[in-house]
Structure 1
């Protein structure tokens, strides 16, 4: 039996987390006060064989009947021969106060781990017109397994500040991949996220938006900070850095975003690799599209339909 505990890349890395807090925190569902559809695509460490390629598609909306928000999220990540795919539904309960909005959210769903054994090569394998790893652990074909998954979070939001604390894989996630010749176990660790951003209006035309993100599995930590400058609420540009010591230095990021219409936001970021992989990686590319539609009566009276974050 082979056992794998994945931390460094068990949850996909996205540099543009500040555009979509919902991806890491179900408590954000509904706080855009519109039907909000977001899609992210990321190619990480391009140039390395089998580099991670991740997609995240989500939709969430306020719902007055439930006094909060509801949402759906689908995540897919391909890393060499491995693929992780998850789907979850979420609910958030939103409370209004004189200083802003507090919410608590939960999400539940399933996660699939899949291994394409045909992409593996073992030292003693035979690959001449066949796939024979000569290893009882490794499958020659595709195998997969399913497991339950859940997350939970807290969030606070007002016209200037957004901050949230969340945990993913809050229940033990154990996935067995059972093929004809293999039994692989994946145990995904719980991860904690603290993320926030602040809007500072410098003038009627210029705004600053600093943001931070810290994630941990309880033993290891990774942090990043970003600064965006907004011009007339239509263009955002900025930079960020991920890492804070020799163990965690990962990337410097450049970001640009354009609000094409009141409803549509497009963005692109490029990560300059600064870790030990910089000699073999050509960096990481990420794109994001967000579309918001006001279809429903606001669940939270008094808040602007379009969150002033971006």
Structure 2
């Protein structure tokens, strides 16, 4: 049954990878510490920890630049049935600010978790999420040289856009693999975020994005483990992005490692014609420790190695995670993913 299960997983994820959607807009929000809570990139992750888990993340990107991105997110997820552990629910609330733009969203996540073996050491999870985002754009902040520019809004405008996400997530004690499609509705060509000028052909839109996550765990001893992982982000129009991470785990309580973010050229894209763009983005240092059995604290610093390196002071990110153990729930193995 194990070989057949793995084969089904590969086929399903292959179908997702082959569905390329065309759209326009900016890349989705990203966190360097997604490795501690993959619900931010895949709704099928809901309930993975098999305990009620809450997290807060604060990210200040490219500090030193006026109007640089600032993002905050709170989430909570857990199981609805601790006997069979087949259903997970999650809630995410995110606030994002970039210069004159803002995006405040709420998503409800649902995961159906299929047990694949008698020991319940591996599961295949399917997840969906539905949400609403309030997009804001303040034309006054743009401060044009000439007043009355018809291509800019005259003041603050707001648009409410519904959205959906879909994901698949497989895990066992040694490795995991997942794929998700974000912004399923907002990426539609007919669904502009803003349309302040009826004569404007191109208006702001979100992109449909594909996220692929994978990782494994190496046990060097009872006290030391290594957890490498990757995140590939693809919107099929702009640059492909690849995050490579590795974390050492000491005594199951102290995590220390880092990451490298870069662009990858898997095929020729329209935006690259006539361009000589650098693929390098950033390197990061990441630390996480458990203050006690319930509370964990994480911090990461991204050092920019792109052309922005001389005009900003790096990116700071702080996360807090709080677990609410259930007296009736018995976890078969520690949750490292």
More helix, by proportion: 2
Which residue number corresponds to residue 129 of structure 1? none
Unaligned 5+ runs, structure 2: 1-22, 265-276
Distance 1:51 1:76 in 2: 14
Which residue number corresponds to residue 127 of structure 1? none
Which residue number corresponds to residue 251 of structure 2? 232
Distance 1:106 1:34 in 2: 20
Using the TM superposition, name which of 165-174 and 37-46 deviates more.
165-174
TM-score in terms of structure 2 length: 0.81
* CA deviation string 1:46-91 (max 9, x = no partner): 1112100011211111111883101111122100010011111111
Distance 1:308 1:20 in 2: 10
Using the TM superposition, name which of 265-274 and 214-223 deviates more.
214-223
Quick one: which of 35, 40, 44 aligns to 2:61?
44
Unaligned 5+ runs, structure 1: 125-132
Which residue number corresponds to residue 307 of structure 1? 335
Which residue number corresponds to residue 193 of structure 1? 211
Say whether the 8 Å CA contact 1:269–1:285 is kept in structure 2.
yes
Which residue number corresponds to residue 77 of structure 1? 96
- For the pair 1:96 / 2:112, whether they are aligned, the reply is no
Quick one: which of 94, 102, 107 aligns to 2:129?
107
TM-aligned CA deviation for residue 177 of structure 1: 3.3
TM-aligned CA deviation for residue 211 of structure 1: 1.0
Which residue number corresponds to residue 212 of structure 1? 230
Quick one: which of 150, 153, 163 aligns to 2:177?
163
Say whether the 8 Å CA contact 2:193–2:206 is kept in structure 1.
no
The count of aligned residue pairs is: 293
List structure 1 segments (4+ residues) > 3 angstroms apart after TM superposition: 175-185, 244-247, 295-298, 301-304
Q: Give the root-mean-square deviation of aligned CA atoms.
A: 2.3
Quick one: which of 142, 162, 165 aligns to 1:151?
165
- For the pair 1:223 / 2:242, whether they are aligned, the reply is yes
TM-score in terms of structure 1 length: 0.87
Say whether the 8 Å CA contact 1:34–1:296 is kept in structure 2.
no
Which residue number corresponds to residue 270 of structure 2? none
